[in-house]
Amino acid sequence: MRDDADGECPLDVLLVTASPYEAQDYTDSGEEIVEKVPMPAGLIAWVREFVEEFHEDEVFVKRRRDKKRIDLVQDGVGDARISQISDVYASPARKRRLH
């Protein structure tokens, strides 16, 4: 729901969903008002029938990370891959290498 700009009703209903994930997406923005309301028995039966007919489990595929190691050298605070001339937190050894 959102606040009504016209002033006829205090709130405008934008969307009704049975998906908790979609509802959570709307709560993340902070602009919409999300409320739980009870479903009528007929709608519960329709959603149950729909899910039983069309639901397919998704296979979990673990994402592989890059094999490049960036944690082998640590020269102080900051990203070692970015040249920083005036890094006040850099170690003396790093400062010598930069000059």
Instruction: Flag whether 10 is in a domain.
Output: yes
Q: What is the DSSP letter of 89?
A: T
Number of structural domains (the chain) is 1
pTM of the entire predicted model: 0.47
**How does DSSP assign 54-87, residue by residue?**
H--PPPP-PPPPP-----S---BSS-TTS--TT-
Instruction: Flag whether 35 is in a domain.
Output: yes
Instruction: Flag whether 28 is in a domain.
Output: yes
For residue 48, the enclosing domain spans 2-54
Residue pLDDT, tens place only, 11-68: 888 889 988 899 999 888 888 899 999 999 999 999 999 999 999 999 998 888 777 7
15 vs 9, higher pLDDT? 15
Instruction: Flag whether 69 is in a domain.
Output: no
Q: How confident is the model at residue 95 (pLDDT cuts 50, 70, 90)?
A: low
Instruction: Flag whether 17 is in a domain.
Output: yes
Instruction: Flag whether 79 is in a domain.
Output: no
Neighbours of 29 (CB within 10 A): 8
Instruction: Flag whether 64 is in a domain.
Output: no
